[in-house]
Homo-oligomer: A and B are copies of this chain.
């Protein structure tokens, strides 16, 4: 009795949504494909999992039994695969650290340097992730730890420590009328077109559109990008504006793009996250400890440009 975990994930999506159509778009497959797969799962088990109606798909008792147990099963599955990949990198003495562009900053090199002293012989492999991968590879075991903007989707399944908190600013085309203002209230930006992250990032996309701070009215989308370079390009080209952490003003400075402080949006946080099972991995623990130490007492700046910007968290 072999069941592809994909089938189970499909099942969970349909059970969650109560509808093939909606589940299909959440999974980025066509509705007929989902129909077939769910039927396939049912014949595989010899059990009817849903009762169909015009209103959608309702779980049968058997379906309910599976829906109750499947998420834990899938999580176990993911954990085992993560542990396997982690064992491989451990054997090679490589610590894989994922990061979203906006989550790395000046402190990162200090962290790596400190880790290097703590664990000579180990190599840190920093992997930048696209925004469509909001856990930077943590979820599928591609990395042992990740520097992320908080919150991130699925955060509850991981261990997280906050490293810093900083205000969100806005990035505008330099020619934009508001670019001359010193500080911009967010509500003045409600009707501006935004450069957004791809749909499939869900939560992440909404966070950077600040949908919570718009008083319910929907954002206008001027462009969608998946990478910092495209993002800057889109803003410079005037396709739209975007919120960004304050530190982007230094890291992603570019002619044609101007950054300005914004009032009326909550600040953003950077955190270090690692999978729960890495609690048993002393190397990951050491890396996390480096992050926390650097947070507590940043190394003395080698360069005066270094010390501006972040507000330490605590």
Contacts and interface: CB of A to CB of B under 8 A. Distances in A.
B48 A81 contact: no
A53 to B, nearest CB: 18
Contacts of A1: 78, 81, 140-141
A308 interface: no
Contacts of A2: 4-6, 9
Contact of A80 (B66, B78, B86, B87): B66
Copies of this chain in the oligomer: 2
A81 B66 CA distance: 7
Contact of A48 (B60, B78, B88, B140): B88
Contact of A84 (B5, B45, B76, B142): B45
Given A62-B91, A73-B76, 13 more contacts: A2-B4, A3-B4, A5-B5, A45-B84, A60-B88, A61-B87, A61-B88, A61-B91, A62-B85, A65-B86, A65-B87, A66-B80, A69-B83
12 contacts: A1-B141, A2-B5, A3-B5, A45-B81, A48-B88, A49-B84, A60-B88, A60-B91, A62-B87, A62-B91, A63-B84, A76-B76
